[in-house]
Structure formats: C-alpha cells, structure tokens
C-alpha cells in the first residue's frame, strides 16, 4: 500500500510538471510556456479562450478563439485554417525566430505569424477584447512592449467588436472577412466581405469575383441598404478615415455585457447574431437573407425587387421589360428599358422639337441603386442639378449624405417594408401625363376586385358552413391525408396539432440556416418560436430525398402511438404544398453527441449524469420493446438520436426507420437496410435481420461511447481498428475495457460524483 501511494504521488508530480508546460491556464504563450492539444489559455477577464478544437464532422484539429463563458461553442477566429493538425499532437509555441507557430507531432510548422522579432523576449497574449497579440518585450523597464502582430489584422469569417474592416486608399490593401469552405472546413471559402470606399463607402459581399450583395451607401450613421440597422445597433458603428490612408469600419457596444458579432456563412449569408442570456442561445438580429431580394441585381437594370409582390420583380415606372418572354418566365436579369425617349435623347436624334422637359417619378422606401455619386449637400438643388445633366438617370437625398445621383443603369433597387430612401427616377414627360387616368383605373379596379372578392368569400363561407368544416386555424385531416396519398389512416391525429406552413415558416425565420439545429439523411431540423412564445423543433423533409416520404409517414405512425418521459414528444405535423414537416418539443441541449465529443461540453457530464443518461436510454428502450401497447424496434439508435432536455435527461428521437411488430412477431427480415453503420448489429447490416437484439447491440455501442468519451468512428490507422468495437475487441480475452480500465474511468476527476 505504501509503495502504491508513493507511485501515485510520483505520478501526480509528473502530471503537474507537464501541466505547467502545456495547460498554462493563464493568458500568455512563451517559448517555455506553450500549449499542447487539448490545452488552452484564457484571457485575464475570462471572456475568451484560445485552444485546439475540431469542427463538427471532422477530426482535424485547429487552433481558434471562442467565447469562454458562452455554453454554445462558436469559434470566431482560426489560425491554421488552411493547414489542420491531422491528430492530437499539435503544439502552439514561440519559435526561435520569435514567431507564434503551430507544430505537428513531427515538429513541422503548419502555421506561423511570419514577422521578425526575437524569440528570447517574445510572448503572445490573449486580450479581453478577443485579440491575440504577439509582442516583443522591451529590456528597458521605461519602454513599453511593442506589438509585432495581432489576430485582429488577420480576419476570418467573423467581425467582433473593435475589429476593423479596412481598405488602404493608397495601396488598395484590404482587410476582409472570408467564409469557411463548409461548416466542417474552416479553410477559405467562396464568399468574402470588403469595405469599398467608392464615391460614398459601402460594404460588398463577393462570391468569388462576382458581387453578391451590397449594403448601400454609408450616411455617417447607418448603411442606407440596411433599414433594420437603425434599430439593431444605432450609434455603435463607426467609419473612420485616418491620416495614413486607411478607411475602416468598426463597432462597439455601450453595454459591455451585450454579445453580438457579424459573420459570413459558407453559403454566403451575412448575419448578426446576439446572445440571449434568458434562452442561453444565439438569436438573429439581422440577416442579408431576410427576403428573396437580397441577391445583387436580382431584377436587372431599371427593375426593382419587392419581396411582398408576386412576381417579386417589376420595372420602374416609365420602363418596360427588355425581353418580354424571358421576363414572363421569371428570368429578370436583362432588366427593363425606357418606354419613351428622354428630352436629351430626342435632341441627339435631331428632333427639331424636343418637347416638354423630363420629370421624375417617386419611389419611396427603397434601397438606392449601386454606384451613387455625391452631388450637393443642399436638398433643394437636387432636382435642378439632375435635370441640367443629361447623364443623370435618378437622384435621392439623405440628410447624412446630401444629394446623390446616378448615371447609366439603375441596378439593385429594392423596395423595403421598413422606412428607406426616396428615389426620384427620371422619365419622359409623356410618362407623367397619364398619371390621373392611371389612378382612376386603379381605383375602379380596386373597387371591382373588392366586390368580387366579397361575393366569393360569402359563397365559400356558406359552402363551408354546410359541410361543417373548420376554419383556417388548422389543416383538416382530409386535406392532409389527401396530400399524403391517404397514408394517415394509421396515425392518431386527434392528439396532434396540424400546423400551417406559413406559421412554421414565420416561426423559423423562413427556415433560415441560422436556426438550423442539424441535418440528417431525410432532411434538416430547425429551431422555431411560435406566436405564443412556445419553442419547437421542426423536422423538414428534404425534397431531394427519394425515401423521405416513407420515413415521414412511418415516424408519425409510430410516435403518435407512444408516450414516455424518455421518448421525444411529437407535437404535430404539416403537409401543405410540397412540404412535409414534423413538429417536436424543443430540446435545448441538442444531441448527446454534442456533449460527449466536445472538449468543453464533455466536462459537464460527470459520472452521475452519465449514469442517469444510460438509465434513461434503458428505460426508453424497455418501454419500446416491452411496456408499450406496441412492440417497436427503433433500428437507428445512436448518440446523435439521443436528445437532452434542459436538465440533461435523455429522449430517444428519430423514429423514421422504426418498425412496429405484431403480438407474436419477434424478428423480421428486410432487403432495405436502414440505419448507421458502426451502430448496426452484424446480422442486420449483412443479412437484413432485425429484432430487439438489434437495438440492444446499438445501445451497447452507445454505452461504450458514453463511458469512454470516444466516438465509434474516431479511431485512425495507428489504432489498427476502424471502430470503438474493434478497439474494445468485445468477446475476446484481450478485451480493451477490462475492469481496471473501467475503474480508472470511473475514478477520473471529471466523472467522480
């Protein structure tokens, strides 16, 4: 016993020695104090953390910076985004040349700051702003350390407070945001954000070299193409033109505790999330994809986009489609042309009588066209100066900018619901003379349409009343069953709410990627909030899935007939147009895999919680197999299908592939094997035979993952095994999880109750 105690003390000494080396716990990296995967450093105020991480869907390791006190993991800066560490041997340290570097296990440099300084007196420090700086320490106590490099100068896909989106007017050098290639690959993607000074500064979003979206001109307070900006961040954004030729855009928040940032997704969406402390979730303040009109030049030259109209594109007044057939088919890229020649054009054509002077038609609440030219600070001079210039096609006035005018094509005009800018478009006088007649025609048409609509509504109401049908709060069972080809006869619809598609679209911000919780083989799952404040999870059947309809019907049939505290609860469904959706209770902690395989979240799973999760899964399976009025085989039990509620209680989910057994039926065969390899029992994967034992086998894999904290498919070739099962060598004398190993795991500090 004494010898064993000495060995433990010696082991603790060795561990503490290496902990100083690579688990610093401070905010500084030096040549002697480095971080080694999975080590990290934390800013002095505890706001930010720098460390190794793996994006979802890959085992590659990167060094990044993220919010330390936020439970939802989100990285806003990545160092080695183009060169990941392929295993867990990575180290971040100061090189002999004084650079901050990332090395792999072979001591190869995968990333470097590439600045010239001295290694002996260089240090890297993570500040409470989220900025990582490399400093040359001064030997003179009276002289401050000099900053040789900072992460804020090498932006990734995110701009946090005090970062600068900049352009050098002298060299045209730009600090830009660049998207990830995909959600699992931080390398540089197709989309980028830049500040374009132009005549009046704007922010451009590029898809490669093609302009994809623009902010509209800066007026000293907001961008005119983002009307929501007034309510979202008021005076917190600042555009600075410094003496060194830099123009940069930065922002800060008066409320220090307010957390928000701007970032560009790999799909090209620019958005601003903010942290909701009450819900413990990132919510969306603003997004470029708030409407279908966000894409640059959607309606071509002299066209304008209005998301509330159908079709969304129209020609400006006084203009008509350039290519009528293409326009009618929904291809609006060719835009519109003037119906009548302007006075200047008539004079150019040699007309002896130019006729009356041109006028202007007013279009209110719009995003003004691209490439505005500053004209005058005086509003009353705008019209006069535009009329006197034959190249002036339109003008607008903003108190922060003054007079703006446009020559050539008017591109990217968008109609807003919010208050926007008023645009005055130049047209021939003949286009103004018919104004009264047009108004009269519109008035008559509105009256006639109202009468017809009223009569039609009355007869429809009478017909509905005779049939005893319900009004439009929900779909009727008959209509939903018709949508699904009569497949709902086995579904207990009395206990399900039948939702409208427009209600679910509003709840999920039109199925925005920002609300996406995850994606599987048959579609994506979105977080939503109904008008009554209730949070839901919406499973949307993928239109590209050929097998998805079968799973949709099957899931409704199975889960509408069972109810247990360890099974996810189905609230309702929607079958409208071509959409098939299932609505579940919202699980705030997502899947068990999000905790088990996350280096930060896994710390929340002590042994007592893991045991409770195992116990809950067992109870749910026992109910499905023995205690419910039906015998149900799940067939796809895995950690990602175990959801966790706010108290980390498990709920088995995703019954799309489940099978109901008859009273005497205990196994079945199928030619259509569905599920996830690595979790499937051998007889099911190879022969298509499944039973209760198939679920028990899958549960065994989940159990190993919960106890070991390792993913079944996370082993590499050096492990000489393709899965956790192979590594465990189950059923053999050389079994990996021997008693002493399990005892070690249960005695580990993070699992000790």
Instruction: Give the pairing type, strands 413-415 and 303-305.
Output: parallel
Q: What's the pLDDT score for residue 665?
A: 62
pTM of the model: 0.60
- Say which CATH number the domain at 633 has: 1.10.510.10
Euclidean distance between CA atoms 29 and 92, whole angstroms: 8
Q: Say if residue 260 is in the same domain as residue 318.
A: no
Q: Say if residue 166 is in the same domain as residue 146.
A: no
96 classed as catalytic: no
Give 21: exposed, middle or buried? Use CB within 10 Å, 0-12, 13-18, 19+. middle
List the structure tokens of 587: 């699980």
List the structure tokens of 190: 């197709």
Q: Say if residue 142 is in the same domain as residue 162.
A: no
Q: Say if residue 631 is in the same domain as residue 716.
A: yes
Q: What's the pLDDT score for residue 669?
A: 64
Q: For the residues of 571-613, what is the DSSP string, one character each?
A: EEEEEETTEEEEEEE--TT-BHHHHHT-TTGGGG--HHHHHHH
Q: Say if residue 743 is in the same domain as residue 602.
A: yes
CA dihedral 462→466→470→476, nearest 10 degrees, is -120
Euclidean distance between CA atoms 305 and 314, whole angstroms: 7
Q: Say if residue 76 is in the same domain as residue 24.
A: yes
List the structure tokens of 732: 């053999």
Q: Say if residue 557 is in the same domain as residue 622.
A: no
Q: Say if residue 262 is in the same domain as residue 385.
A: no
Catalytic residue, from 412, 636, 654, 695: name it: 636
256 falls within a domain:
yes
pLDDT < 70 regions, the chain: 1-25, 117-120, 138-144, 230-236, 254, 256, 348-355, 433-495, 520-522, 542-551, 577, 662-674, 713-753
Find out whether 307 and 292 touch, Cβ atoms under 8 Å.
yes
Q: What's the pLDDT score for residue 485?
A: 46
Q: Say if residue 610 is in the same domain as residue 719.
A: yes
Q: Say if residue 348 is in the same domain as residue 266.
A: no
Helices (H), 577-646: 592-596, 607-622
Domain count, the chain: 5
237 falls within a domain:
yes
448 falls within a domain:
no
CA distances (Å), origin 202, targets 166, 368, 386, 500? 11, 12, 23, 39
Find out whether 291 and 303 touch, Cβ atoms under 8 Å.
no
Euclidean distance between CA atoms 737 and 703, whole angstroms: 12
Euclidean distance between CA atoms 358 and 346, whole angstroms: 11
Last residue of a domain, one of 409, 433, 457: 433
Q: What's the pLDDT score for residue 635?
A: 83
569 falls within a domain:
yes
- Could you list the residue range(s) of the whole structural domain that residue 534 is in? 473-586
Last residue of a domain, one of 586, 608, 634: 586
Last residue of a domain, one of 526, 553, 586: 586
Q: Say if residue 736 is in the same domain as residue 603.
A: yes
Q: Where is the binding site, in residues?
A: 539
Q: Where is the binding site for ATP, in residues?
A: 539
500 falls within a domain:
yes
Q: Say if residue 285 is in the same domain as residue 374.
A: no
């Amino acid at each position: 016993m004494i010898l064993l105690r000495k060995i433990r003390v010696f082991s603790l000494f060795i561990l503490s020695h290496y902990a100083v080396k690579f688990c610093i716990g401070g905010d500084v990296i030096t040549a002697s104090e480095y971080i080694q995967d999975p080590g990290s450093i934390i800013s002095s105020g505890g706001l930010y953390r720098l460390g190794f991480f793996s994006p979802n869907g890959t085992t590659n390791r990167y060094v990044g910076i993220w919010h330390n006190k936020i439970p939802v993991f989100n990285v806003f800066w990545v160092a080695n985004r183009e060169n990941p560490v392929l295993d867990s041997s990575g180290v971040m340290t100061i090189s002999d040349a004084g650079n901050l570097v990332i090395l792999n296990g072979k001591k190869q440099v995968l990333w470097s700051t590439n600045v010239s300084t001295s290694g002996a007196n260089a240090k890297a420090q993570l500040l409470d702003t989220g900025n990582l700086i490399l400093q040359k320490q001064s030997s003179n106590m009276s002289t401050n350390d000099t900053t040789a490099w900072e992460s804020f100068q090498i932006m990734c896909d995110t701009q946090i407070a005090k970062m600068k989106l900049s352009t050098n007017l002298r060299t045209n050098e730009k600090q830009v945001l660049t998207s990830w290639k995909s959600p699992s690959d931080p390398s540089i993607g197709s989309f980028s954000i830049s500040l374009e000074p132009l005549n009046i500064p704007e922010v451009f979003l590029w898809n490669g070299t093609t302009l994809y979206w623009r902010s509209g001109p800066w007026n000293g307070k907001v961008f005119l193409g983002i009307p929501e900006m007034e309510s979202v961040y008021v005076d917190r954004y600042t555009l600075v033109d410094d003496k060194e030729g830099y123009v940069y855009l930065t922002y800060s928040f008066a409320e220090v505790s307010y957390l928000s940032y701007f970032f560009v997704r790999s799909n090209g969406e620019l958005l601003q999330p903010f942290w909701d402390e009450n819900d413990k979730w990132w919510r969306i303040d603003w997004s470029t994809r708030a409407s279908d009109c966000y894409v640059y030049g959607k309606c071509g030259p002299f066209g304008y986009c209005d998301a509330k109209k159908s079709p969304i594109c129209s020609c400006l007044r006084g203009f008509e489609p350039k290519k009528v057939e293409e326009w009618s088919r929904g291809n609006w890229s060719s835009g519109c042309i003037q119906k009548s020649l302007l006075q200047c054009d008539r004079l150019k054509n040699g007309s002896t009588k130019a006729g009356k002077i041109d006028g202007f038609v007013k279009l209110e609440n719009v995003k003004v066209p691209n490439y505005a030219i500053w004209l005058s600070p005086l509003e009353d001079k705008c019209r006069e100066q535009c009329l006197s210039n034959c190249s002036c096609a339109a003008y607008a006035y903003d108190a922060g900018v003054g007079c703006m005018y446009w020559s050539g094509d008017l591109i990217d005009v968008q109609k807003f619901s919010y208050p926007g800018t008023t645009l005055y478009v130049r047209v021939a006088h003949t286009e103004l003379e018919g104004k009264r007649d047009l108004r009269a025609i519109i008035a008559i048409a509105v009256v006639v349409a109202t009468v017809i609509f009223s009569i039609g509504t009355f007869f429809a109401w009478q017909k509905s009343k005779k049939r005893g049908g319900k009004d439009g709060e929900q779909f009727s069972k008959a209509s939903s069953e018709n949508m699904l080809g009569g497949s709902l006869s086995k579904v207990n619809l009395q206990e399900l709410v039948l939702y409208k598609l427009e209600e679910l679209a509003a709840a999920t911000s039109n199925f925005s990627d920002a609300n996406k919780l995850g994606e599987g083989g048959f579609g994506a799952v979105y977080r939503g909030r109904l008008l009554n404040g209730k949070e839901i999870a919406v499973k949307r059947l993928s239109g590209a899935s050929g097998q998805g309809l079968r799973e949709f019907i099957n899931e409704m049939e199975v889960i509408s007939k069972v109810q247990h505290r360890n099974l996810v609860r189905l609230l309702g469904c929607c079958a409208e147009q071509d959409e098939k959706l299932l609505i579940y209770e919202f699980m705030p902690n997502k899947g068990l895999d999000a905790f088990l395989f996350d280096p930060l979240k896994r710390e929340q799973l002590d042994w007592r919680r893991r045991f409770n999760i195992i116990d809950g899964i067992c109870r749910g399976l026992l109910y499905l197999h023995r205690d419910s009025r039906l015998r149900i085989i799940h067939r796809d039990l895995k950690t990602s299908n175990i959801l966790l509620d706010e108290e980390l209680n498990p709920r088995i989910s995703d019954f799309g592939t489940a099978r109901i057994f008859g009273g005497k039926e205990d196994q079945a065969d199928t030619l259509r094997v569905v599920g996830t390899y690595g979790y499937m029992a051998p007889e099911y994967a190879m022969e298509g035979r499944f039973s209760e034992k198939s679920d028990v086998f899958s549960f065994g894999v989940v159990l190993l993952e919960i106890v070991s904290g390792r993913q079944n498919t996370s082993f590499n070739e050096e492990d000489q095994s393709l899965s956790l099962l192979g590594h465990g060598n189950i059923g053999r004398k050389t079994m990996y999880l021997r008693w002493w190993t399990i005892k070690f795991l249960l005695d580990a500090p993070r699992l000790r109750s």
